[in-house]
Chain A
């Protein structure tokens, strides 16, 4: 099965074609959010260089969120169009899953962190059990401090990966007991990783419904945001 993967959930724009045995090609740009400008060119170029036509693709995998609001919409719109035009199935995969998958066989916790702005990250905790990536928490939109608190209960080493690493590396190094960081060449959302998870998902659980598919914007529950707002408005007095 030949899968075209597209990841636009972070600052990186990436596309890849994989088949059952190998990654046929992958393009990654991790420079300024310019997905709407370069994504279709990237897809065109990867297909041309592989001497493939879009009709040679058997299915599509796309980042479904959480992640950059605009990025997710660009990816979803592009893939929905391709899927509808070719009549081939699509599957949505979380970029958090695919980032964690970059760190295959890491012992301990793999913790992808994506910048959610205002001191928040999109994150989830993973472990590798044998060859399988297992998610051990919900997908979360929490502040970096809440994440540190959450990790404080864990005794195993934690490997961080994602576009929020450069922002919080110093803080995480000093506040997480055994913090490790993905090497640069892995610390980017890769469409090949997303496509491989997409192929597994499609085989196990089938494709997404083309028309119902929508990006998954993870936000803090409104109740929490309102609580925070109230806290902010409290008079700043020492009691």
Chain B
């Protein structure tokens, strides 16, 4: 499914719609260039999960944990050189839990991403315009169809 947004607020709104309906254990991968709005989308997801804390990208600490309607783990694996590094922080125990996990730059650790997940790709069309493609893999995410319509 594809969306075009023209402002940061519209990007956050898409995130919020997704976040509102996410279920325990859901995994959302977000990829896109620097400055494309991955973290803004994540802010929206956090809002949808009922988290009003300020969301910042965990570029250096790799994962931030929040408590909302569900537990929420926000990963940024931009600085991970080797999937082994992130496996060594107990990655599996984070993502195979009852929490919602969002993983920015998931392409860097593709071998660790379970087959079933939501994949969001953001492309810069202009300074402010973004194309957001949302795909999901696995039956458990079929509900996304209704959420996004």
Contact = CB atoms under 8 A, between A and B. Distances in A.
Interface string A116-150: 01100000000000000000000000000000000
B84 interface: yes
A229 B111 contact: yes
B84 A117 contact: no
A219 B111 contact: no
Interface of A: 68-70, 117-118, 217, 219, 222, 225, 229, 232
Contact of A118 (B84, B88, B90, B92): B92
Given A117-B96, A229-B111, A69 B84 contact: no
B92 A70 contact: no
Interface string B109-128: 00100100000000000000
Interface in B92-109: 92-93, 96
Interface string B79-96: 000001001111011001
Contact of B90 (A69, A229, A232): A69
Given A219-B87, A222-B84, A69 B111 contact: no
A225 B90 CA distance: 16
Interface residues of B, number: 10
A117 B93 CA distance: 8
B126 to A, nearest CB: 35
A217 B114 CA distance: 21
Contacts of B90: 68-70
Contacts of A225: 111
A68 B84 contact: no
Contact of A117 (B88, B92, B111): B92
